[in-house]
Amino acid sequence: MRFQIKDLLHIFLLSTGIFLFVIDLFIINVSLPTVQHALHLHNSDTQWIIILYIIGYASLLINAGNAGNHYGKKKLYLIGMAGFTVASLLCGLANNLYILLVGRLIQGISSGLMVPQGIALITLRFENPEKRSMALGIYGSIAGIASVIGQLLGGILPDQTWIHESWRLIFLINVPIGAVACFAVYRYTAKDQVYVKSSVSFKPMVTLFMLLMGIIFPLIMGPDLKWPLWSLLVLGTTLVFVLLFLKKQRKLEKMGYPSVLNFTLFNNRVFNLGLLAALAYYMVQDAYFIINSNYLQNQKNYTATMTGIAFVYQGIGYVLASVTVSRLIQHHGKIVVLYGLGIMILGLLAHLFILNTMLVNSDQVHILFFFYGIGCGSVLPALMTLALKDLNEKLISVGSAIYLTIQQLSICLGIAFIVGVFLHQKENKFFIWQHISSAYGYSIALSVILLLFVLGSIAYLPSQKLK
């Protein structure tokens, strides 16, 4: 079964949202040291550049489906794309941290609008299950390719010499893409049906945003300020509010009113273990790029371009593994994921030995990153399937939303904890490694511990093949 050219064009067009979101998620990882130097930022400032983007995105995920039904999926996709384009221009022209942070938050919120609607519009366009599955497969492949392109551009663009402050290109490159996508979607994508009766509540989105900020803010600012009393009070108070929020939602569910969470999901042991595994895994996932990019550029004399190229090898390993092991996972289940986690853990330990020289060998770094990417590609694509595979079909949608929200929260926690350890640890040598700093060593060690937790959680799952 083949697609017509116009079908392929629509898939690519509606995949622009996820393409831009993923590119900006990865492009900043490599270019962050350059941005920090250009704007004279503190360590905690650099963490906010990433975290506000993710929190803005995560806050809208819970109600994105209902909002699309109520206001129209195409309309929200266009609003999200336009907002992302304008925010990218704002980031590219920013001359201080605060303008940049506002731009990044708007980018994240806009992504929360457009990404879910892009998936929904593709699903609506292809009624045939086989074609729909193929279309979503292309959509997923585009997201994977975007992560590799993002890492490469994050290295190449800041090193350009034909423009002053070339780091701005990492944001400005989104502007023509977003503008063309807005026009093309408006002109060529059919309107979808609007369900006026579907309800949209902004309160859960605002509540989630405030709770996330209440947790992340003291975790980021605390180490910089030597943990003042107010930071501990804010964190403790927020955790109390989280418990009260969950208690209220459970009460609403028992009374038969709509609630943000469906608590019957948490009666499923497989779902709970899958969420715990995802929580620990995604803490490592994004932090890995940030600490290695920073370490290579600031400690090992790598340029941004050299760092970006090194991460491309990781991306190639990831893409090859994710394509290759998809059938293996269907036939052999969790054992493939366990092997992938083993490769990641060995890869992280190998980082300490390969980078334990004054001048690192680029070929060895490329092989190392490729090896680690194979591990990631063997694990990440299966995590969501593992978590959701035992859920009732009616609970898959809300289960997916909870999983994706946990995913984004985990990335923020990883930046707060793992990157926080890296940024605030003293630059002493790390035990027997003469040329590895304690900052890098402890952040790698923390990552290994978290991956061991993931391995234990997956190993504890029932030995069933994935469908």
Higher-confidence residue of 20 and 331: namely 20
Please indicate, yes or no, if residue 205 is contained in any of the structural domains: yes
121 pLDDT more than 90? no
Asked if the model's pLDDT at residue 55 lies above 60, the reply is yes
Q: Which pLDDT band holds residue 398 (cuts at 50, 70, 90)?
A: confident
- The pLDDT score that the predictor gives to residue 464 is 59
Q: What token pair was written down for 428?
A: 């002493």
Q: How far is CA 230 from the centre of its chain?
A: 30
The string of DSSP codes covering 78-114 is HHHHHHHHHHHHHHHH--SHHHHHHHHHHHHHHHHHH
Q: Answer whether residue 447 shows pLDDT above 60.
A: yes
Structure tokens at 330: 């269907």
Q: Give the pLDDT of residue 1.
A: 57
β-sheet bridge partners, residue 430: 433
pLDDT of residue 463: 67
**Domain-located, residue 6:** yes
Instruction: State whether 372 and 415 are in the same domain.
Output: yes
Q: Using CA atoms, how far apart are residues 78 and 183, in angstroms rounded to an integer?
A: 9
Q: Residue 56 belongs to what domain range?
A: 1-196
Tell me: pLDDT of 170 over 90. yes
Taking residues 339-347, report their average pLDDT. Answer: 95
Q: Are residues 167 and 278 in the same domain?
A: no
pLDDT in tens, 216-261: 889 888 887 888 999 999 999 999 998 988 888 788 778 777 676 7
**435 pLDDT exceeds 80?**
yes
pLDDT 10s digits, 268-289: 888 889 899 999 999 998 899 9
Residue whose pair of structure tokens reads 């083949």 in the numeric block: 2
**Pick from 219, 236, 257: which residue ends a domain?**
257
Residue 458: count other Cβ atoms within 10 Å of its Cβ: 24
Main-chain phi, psi angles of 162, to 5 degrees: -85, -5
Judge if 272 and 319 occupy the same domain: yes
* Candidate from 2-6, 51-55, 94-98, 214-218 with smallest mean pLDDT: 2-6
Do 186 and 54 fall into the same domain? yes
| 176 and 47, same domain (yes or no) | yes
Last residue of a domain, one of 234, 257, 280: 257
Residues 402 and 337 in one domain: yes
Q: Which of 18, 21, 11, 14 is nearest to 133 (CA)?
A: 11
Domain count for the chain: 3
Q: Lowest mean pLDDT: which of 11-25, 164-178, 246-260, 449-463?
A: 246-260
233 and 375 assigned to the same domain: no
pLDDT of residue 467 exceeding 60, the answer is: no
Please report where in the chains the tokens 């807005």 appear, as a residue: 182
User: How confident is residue 158, by pLDDT bands cut at 50, 70 and 90?
Assistant: very high
Length of the chain: 467
The predicted pLDDT at position 207 comes to: 81
Q: How many CA atoms lie within 13 A of 232 on its CB side?
A: 4
CA 436 to CA 427: how far, in whole Å? 9
Mean residue pLDDT across the chain? 86
> Would you call 429 helix, strand, or coil by DSSP?
strand
Same domain, 11 and 37: yes
Q: Is residue 411 part of a domain?
A: yes
- What is the helix (H) or strand (E) element at residue 208, kind and residue range? helix 203-224
Shared domain check, 251 and 359: no
pLDDT value at position 4? 73
Are residue 321 and residue 409 in the same domain, yes or no? yes
Q: Among 165, 180, 196, where does a domain finish? A: 196
Same domain, 86 and 106: yes
Angle between helices 16-39 and 129-156 (to 10 degrees): 20
Burial class of residue 330 (count of CB atoms within 10 Å of its CB; 0-12, 13-18, 19+): middle
CATH number where 316 lies: 1.20.1250.20
Instruction: Let me know whether 242 and 293 are in one domain.
Output: no
The reported pLDDT for the residue numbered 199 is 63
> How do residues 93-114 score in pLDDT, each as one tens digit?
999 999 999 999 999 999 988 8
217 within domain boundaries: yes
Q: Please indicate, yes or no, if residue 262 is contained in any of the structural domains.
A: no
Dihedral sign of CA atoms 268, 280, 114, 131 in order: negative
| pLDDT at residue 44, rounded to an integer | 83
